[in-house]
Chains A and B, each alone.
Chain A
Amino acid sequence: MSVAVAQAPQVAQVTAHARLRGVTRVFEGKLSVHALGPLDLDLARGEFFSVVGPSGCGKTTLMDLIAGLSAPTAGTIIFEDKPVKGEVPDGIGAVFQEDASFPWLTVRDNIAFGLRRAGVDAAEIARRVDYVIGFMGLRDFTTAYPAQLSGGMRQRVCIARTLVLQPRLILLDEPFGALDQQTRLLMGDELLRLWRETGATILLITHALDEAAMLSDRVGVMSARPGRFIDIITTGWARERDSAIVADPAFGAVTARLWSLLRSESLKAIGAKGA
């Protein structure tokens, strides 16, 4: 596949930002479910990495493990040279698929929530919150309550609430899943802008192949359950990219490659449920 590159992607640091080795997750219960792994992954600092895969392959489980929301049954997860095992480390932010905005707080209070709990002083809170509000285009809505906003706006509030804490690794689990296609494309551009400005490492979980192909430096393709990486594709896009990249012929090639990898896995996933 030919790729037009204006600027080479970031060179990976010597030490990966996050490193997964042999990570496995088995859910115990009446029947034990082998949900994920064993899988390996190196996340370079500042890269934009997407994960795609058939439904039920364990993408959300993967994110929960990296975030420290649950512990792996086997394997190791290292984030910034420290192991992650069931405790959320400092420097990680997450945006989930469901709306996590607090309905009892205004937009401004929602965004300031994390900072206030962390005991940051009021002046600094005001400064950071104002900046992020401007950055995410929420200036006209600071006193509104989430119930008065659209789904896209509410996700922006959740992203803002995460951003204001200046995380170094941002995990997003199908954050635009509930939105219509046009809004998704615009939100994708915003995500790229945010990525460039903050220099954070981004791990995006999505079922939309075009989204993954358009936004990422690399795309990991997961197999059906138990999820493992079948392949990791490097897109080679320039850092200064946006949704206009759909016009690039390489985009079609990337998407085609992703689908050809995923097609059989998706059939397996459906077969596993239906057959």
Chain B
Amino acid sequence: MTRNAAISLTRIAVIVGGIVLLEILCRRHVINPLTLIPPSEMVTSLWHMFGSQKIWDDIAQTFSTVALSFVLSVTAGFALGALVHALPRVRRAIDPLLASYYSIPFFVFYPLLIALFGLNTVPLVVIGFVFATAAMVISTLNGLDRVPRVMTKTARILRLNPARAVWSVTLPSAAPYLFTGLKLALAYSFIGVIAGEFILSGGGLGYSIAYAYNDFDNQTMYALMMFVLVIAVVMNGALHVWEQHMSRKRTRA
């Protein structure tokens, strides 16, 4: 078999093997059931929860908050990135800020946001936004930087007006990097919102996990934890696969 196939199979085997091992250790009570419940129980618990309304309310709240944060951060990130790219002086001033951006532990601002906006979804959207926008700005700057000069020259030789040139040449050329920005913005929005809900919130999936923890309700807690992790993996994985598919025609076979 090809090396790539061997790698993928090994990876799947390791992950499945790990889950099976966990299942056995939990069932044999090698792992204390008060600490961790077997994966199979997590699944059945989750299945039962889908029957009640509560989890759907949580899902709706979390996902709508994430969606809002995502849309805002992608739009603002792209606009800011394009603007900064066009103003070299501003760019030079902002570059060190962008380089250090993710070293600032933004979560410490979360209580401040609650103080400002109250215990609702606004602080969550803001946290997600602040986390995600910088990634989109950086990706946009990257993408615009990497438009080969010859592309810009070609657009001018073909006598495209500036708007046309951006739409038909610059953006498609930068698209792979913009898509990376999108991926990151979604991941960071999701992380920001879930973490915020977890720490201090009135609703949503993160809140429910924290609540279940405080309530010693392992069944609910692990079901939700598994659900959130699976959603995160599937969501990001889907975007990744889509990205691979799109880039296949652009890269040498």
Contact between A and B in the complex (any CB pair below 8 Å): yes
> What are 21 A-B residue pairs whose CB atoms fall within 8 Å in the complex?
A69-B153, A69-B157, A88-B157, A88-B159, A94-B157, A96-B150, A100-B148, A100-B153, A102-B151, A102-B169, A103-B173, A103-B249, A103-B250, A104-B175, A104-B249, A113-B158, A145-B250, A147-B251, A147-B252, A148-B249, A148-B252
Whether a CB of chain A sits under 8 angstroms from the CB of B172 is: yes
Q: Within 8 Å of chain B (Cβ to Cβ): is A72?
A: no
Say yes or no: A67 contacts B157, CB within 8 Å. yes
The answer, yes or no, to whether A81 is at the interface (CB within 8 Å) is no
Verify A117–B164 contact, CB threshold 8 A: yes
Q: How far is the CA of A114 from the CA of B153 in the complex (A)?
A: 13
A90 part of interface (Cβ distance < 8 Å) = yes
Closest chain-A Cβ to B155's Cβ sits at a distance in Å of: 9
Tell me which residues across on chain B come within 8 A of A113, comparing CB atoms.
158, 168
Q: Is B154 interfacial (CB-CB < 8 Å)?
A: yes
Report A100-120 CB contacts with B as 1/0, cut-off 8 Å: 101110000000011001000
Q: Which residue of B lies closest to A96 (CB)?
A: B150
Q: Once bound together, how far apart are the Cα atoms of A272 and B253, in whole Å? A: 42
Say whether chain B's binding surface is mostly helix, strand, loop, or mixed: helix
For chain A, the bracket of interface size reads 20 to 34
Minimum CB–CB distance from A107 to chain B (whole Å) comes to 12
**B19 CB-CB contact with A under 8 Å:** no
Chain A, residues 126-165, CB within 8 Å of chain B (1/0): the string is 0000000000000000000101100000000000000001
The contact size tier of chain B is 20 to 34
Instruction: Mark A51-72 against chain B: 1 for CB-CB distance below 8 A, else 0.
Output: 0000000000000000101000
Are B249 and A147 closer than 8 Å at their CB atoms? yes
Q: Measuring CB to CB, which residues of chain A are less than 8 angstroms from any residue of chain B?
A: 67, 69, 88, 90, 92-94, 96, 98-100, 102-104, 113-114, 117, 145, 147-148, 165
Beta-carbon nearest neighbor of A90 in chain B? B159
User: Complex: how many Å from CA A92 to CA B150?
Assistant: 16
Question: What are the residues of chain B within 8 A of A103 when measuring CB–CB?
Answer: 173, 249-250
Complex CA–CA separation, A48 to B249 (angstroms): 37
Bound-state CA distance A126–B127 (Å) is 52
Chain B residues whose CB sits within 8 angstroms of the CB of A92 once the complex forms? 157
B residues 219-253 with Cβ under 8 Å of A? 249-253
User: CB < 8 Å: which of A99, A117, A145 contacts B249?
Assistant: A145
Instruction: Across the interface, name the chain A residue whose C-beta is closest to B159.
Output: A88
**Contacts A147-B252, A148-B253 given: A100-B158 contact, CB under 8 Å?**
no
Contact between B249 and A93, CB atoms less than 8 A apart = no
Tell which of B154, B160, B164, B249 touches A96, judged by Cβ atoms closer than 8 Å. Answer: B154
Check: B28 CB closer than 8 A to any chain A CB: no
Instruction: Name B47-84 residues within 8 Å CB distance of A.
Output: none
